[in-house]
Structure 1
């Protein structure tokens, strides 16, 4: 009897941290394994190395059922083969170069679900992008192999015709590209000659060109005005406090302020939500708490100790928190003469003051802001010295005196 099972072998972990899913063929007390197009991360399996990702489990079960059915139908032909020969036969049957209809919208839903699990702030924009695409084609039956350069050009033209500006079109199409690339990484295995998504039209399609955004940084004079401003409304005071909290913490993003879990030894150490899932170092950064920030920290401390700040009691999501702060900041902007003041300008302001007023280098500013190093290989050898950020931050804060 030929038995088949999808397995993950613990000792076969790849350099990128994933494990391949293999189809094991057992026959006459011998076993062979064949490659499948599936790979799993630690988050997708349990301690017994069994798949717990429902979407992936569905795909794997579908292949396993196809293989079992083929073995049942062709048993007389397979009975005289050894396990390696049966494996080759099933590999050709399941994973030939023939194009497979992989539904874009089903994978997109799975991709966005992963983003939600990782609390990635941009997941909302991805959902909007997918809904725009669905509105364009009028149904949800779209294969990756149906998407061509012409398809993308027509979609872009439709967006423009329906009043979407250049920045919005570029955003929707770049999100679509990110989903497409994620699917290629998941389904294609060039090492084993498994190509389920045969083409990538984004290699030949140019996204709409977006003009460089206007610099959001406040001048030294304006940030001093913001600090001196005394709001009459509690909500506006809240927005001012959160803005300065970010500024004093070297441009800490709102989602990280919302999620950060603890303070230890006079420092806030966290992994930046925007990039922690795509960087080898987890985008970790540690900021020393300067005296100027402590009154704000104490004002919004989470008394229950679940997180550092109590923002999650005020707002159910990080996106809602960010939206509220931006709304209230407009009042401050009107008072100090800054049009459309927003939360993210705190980050821009810190960096601009460090470079222009403290004469810091752009590369040092990038390090302080936890951006990816231009020298990826070299940075992988060097242990991070967060004291560099402490010294830079102190220089910037001293400018405000």
Structure 2
């Protein structure tokens, strides 16, 4: 379908202004729709004549409308003529937001997220284009979601949880569109996202101690030490950990805003964590990692997980001098990941019968709007819990020293 700009002088107003319309043609059929703009002079291009009052503002407004039309025609080349007529009319009347492909809104939403989260939205948008590139808020319903799930299953996404990630991305875009009043439709009222329960990825107290005490190869040591650092800091998210600066240290504590929830987080800085920061001190950040990786921290996170998996797939051997070293053999920590530190912190806290709500505070799950008195009380609970957990982990060291 092609279109052209035309000033319809047959409908001139008393102020000598005539409507600027678009004439669409396709296979011998044509229709005309007003842009809502007016001009006192005829023109056929995409810019108002310079002699026209406010010609720059009018040209900009026309360009915005034509861009929306071009996007629609690009993504809907096979739409029947009469349907295209109605949808283009809606676009020119300012009602066409919901007619844009959902992938457009998904990629816009991705721009507001952290790089690690944005990459999942981009991947979901790509999968939607493979299945139905013209999908919009109006065309997606419960049946569409089920067919999309089946399509993913038949094309490589065989795990339920893997497909659930993409379905939750679509749900998030719908939630944002509802909030912005772009659509009133919500197919997730009739479609439930399925997910399989997965085993908790924590390691045991004994395994954590073995990991802490064993000798690892020099080029692997930082990955083990940063895992321990994450544990000492309540299982801090690795993205937040890498981006900590001196400004985040206040009164001997770590204070920062979580990238995932955008909520304030305030945790103690125990001596064990201080020592690791000292070992890997950075210039612009507390840790040296981003001095080398810069903005490409996702590359480091990928390598971090790979090296932890390599460490976990080794066995601990005791040398003749009593020191423990890692050697290839029976894995001690299969499937060890960066996030195991967070799960392990929580599981050891539960083992010590620390209240669930206190563990939740340590993990940053409950920073609601509360009074200053309650915040102070909560910080003390966090401090006491962190010290209790770390002392419990270090108890074997104290016992060894007592034996000497």
TM-score bucket (shorter structure): 0.5 to 0.7
Per-residue deviation at 1:372? Answer: 3.3
**CA apart distance, 1:245:** 0.7
Are 1:288 and 2:279 an aligned pair?
Answer: no
1:78-126 per-position Cα deviation (integer Å, ceiling 9, x unaligned): xxxxxxxxxxxxxxx9567x995233122112111121xxx35311111
Label 1:106 to 1:236 Cα distance change in 2 as closer, same or farther (>3 A). Answer: same
Matched, 1:239 2:223: yes
Residues 216-238 of structure 1: CA deviation (Å, up to 9, x unaligned): 11111111111111102x33211
- Matched residue pairs, number? 292
- 1:198 Cα shift? 3.4
Q: Please give the secondary structure, in 2, of the residue aligned with 1:269.
A: strand
Residue from 168, 172, 186 that aligns with 1:178: 172
- 1:249 lines up with 2:233 in the alignment: yes
Q: Are 1:351 and 2:335 counterparts?
A: no
Cα shift at 1:342: 0.5
For 1:237-265, what per-residue CA distance to the aligned partner results, in whole angstroms no more than 9, with x for missing partners? Answer: 11101100101111111000111122233
Residue in structure 2 matched with residue 54 of structure 1 by the alignment: none
Q: Which of the numbers 102, 105, 122 marks the counterpart of 1:104?
A: 102
* Matches of 1:99 and 1:397, distance apart in 2: 53
Quote the offset at 1:210 in angstroms.
2.0
1:222 equivalent among 207, 214, 217:
207
In 2, the alpha carbon distance for the partners of 1:128 and 1:318 equals 19
Aligned ranges for residues 238-387 of structure 1 at < 5 Å? 238-262=222-246, 263-276=249-262, 283-302=263-282, 304=283, 306-316=284-294, 317-335=296-314, 337-356=332-351, 358-372=352-366, 382-384=374-376, 385-387=378-380
- Please give the TM-score of this superposition, normalised by the length of structure 1: 0.67
Aligned: 1:202 with 2:181? no
Q: Which runs of 5+ in 2 are unaligned?
A: 1-14, 16-59, 69-91, 316-331, 396-404
CA distance in 2, matches of 1:255, 1:126: 18
CA distance, structure 2, for counterparts of residue 230 and residue 250 of structure 1 = 24
CA contact (8 A) 2:312 2:335 kept: yes
CA shift for structure 1 position 315: 2.2
Query: How far apart are the structure 2 equivalents of 1:378 and 1:265?
Result: 21
Between the two structures, name the one with larger relative contact order (CA 8 Å, sep ≥ 6): 1
Cα distance change, pair 372–379 in 1 and its aligned pair in 2 (3 A): farther
Contact in 2 for aligned 1:217/1:345 (Cα 8 Å): yes
In 2, Cα distance between equivalents of 1:301 and 1:343: 20
Q: Which residue of 1 aligns with 2:136?
A: 143
* Corresponding position: 1:166 with 2:151: no
Consecutive unaligned residues of structure 1, counting only runs of 5 or more, are: 2-57, 67-92, 189-195, 277-282
Which residue does the alignment assign to 2:112? 114
Distance 2:256 2:392 in 1: 26
Any conservation in 1 of the 2:107–2:121 contact (CA below 8 Å)? no
- For the Cα contact (< 8 Å) 2:267–2:362, is it kept in 1? no
Q: Distance in 1 between matches of 2:98 and 2:289?
A: 46
Alpha-carbon distance change, 169 to 308 in structure 1, aligned in 2, over 3 angstroms: same
Correspondence for 2:382: 389
- 1:147 Cα deviation from its structure 2 partner: 0.9
